[in-house]
Amino acid sequence: MSVSDIKDIFIDCFTEFLRQNTSSTSMGAEKPLKASELAKALDVSIATISVWENQGLLPARWISNRKFYLLSEVNAAMKLDPRFERKNTLRKKTSALSTIS
């Protein structure tokens, strides 16, 4: 195998990697959210978002040097992880109370 062959294989592999990881379908039409936007959507503090991410509870994506979240991925993670159950219950109770007043 020549250097040229190895180069071609590397280019093909790298091109495929870029195609899979930067395609428009990887994030679809969903708008990536900043930590502050996600915190507002979930009615928690930005510090809570940071703690949850550091604990591996929230999936984050990087675009250039900025971190973003997809609400669909966050919702899926929250449904799967029992540590969010208490927060979801509190949010439901809070929502129910706000409709009463």
Residues facing residue 33 across a β-bridge: 69
Q: What is the pLDDT of residue 90?
A: 45
* Per-residue model confidence as pLDDT tens digits over 26-81: 556 778 899 999 888 888 899 999 998 898 888 898 888 889 998 888 888 888 87
> Is the pLDDT higher at 59 or at 15?
59
Per domain, the residue ranges of the chain are: 33-101
Residue 95: both structure tokens together:
């929502």
> Is the pLDDT higher at 78 or at 22?
78
Task: List Cβ neighbours of 78 (8 Å cut-off, separation of 6 or more).
Answer: 84, 87, 88
Q: What is the pLDDT of residue 72?
A: 84
CB 71 within 8 A of CB 79: no
* Inter-residue long-range contacts of 84-93, CB under 8 Å, 24+ positions, other chains counted: 84/57, 87/44, 91/43
CB 75 within 8 A of CB 84: no
